[in-house]
């Protein structure tokens, strides 16, 4: 488990810090930033940033402004 904070940072800064931290840890622990997990090669130098709102809309047809009952029912 990792927990990290950075004073005066924003969401983008924290994402960058987290990506660098995980990649560096993988290099230090595994000797490389890639790992094979259950036969699938995971490359920790490549990060995809996905909007949570976009994901909820695409996967569940839920908009951020929908009533909370919509989120629970789905």
pLDDT for position 72: 79
- Say what the pTM is: 0.67
For the chain, the average pLDDT equals 89
- The domain segmentation of the chain, as residue ranges, is 11-73
pLDDT for position 4: 82
Alpha carbon of 29 to those of 2, 10, 56, 57: distances in Å?
A: 15, 28, 34, 37
Measured distance CA(12)–CA(4) in Å, rounded: 14
């Amino acid at each position: 488990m990792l927990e990290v904070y950075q004073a005066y940072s924003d969401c983008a800064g924290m994402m960058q810090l987290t990506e660098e931290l995980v990649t560096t840890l993988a290099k230090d622990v595994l000797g490389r930033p890639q790992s094979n997990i259950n036969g699938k090669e995971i490359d920790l130098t490549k990060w995809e940033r996905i909007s949570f709102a976009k994901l909820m809309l695409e996967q569940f047809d839920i908009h951020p402004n929908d009533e909370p009952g919509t989120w629970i029912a789905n």
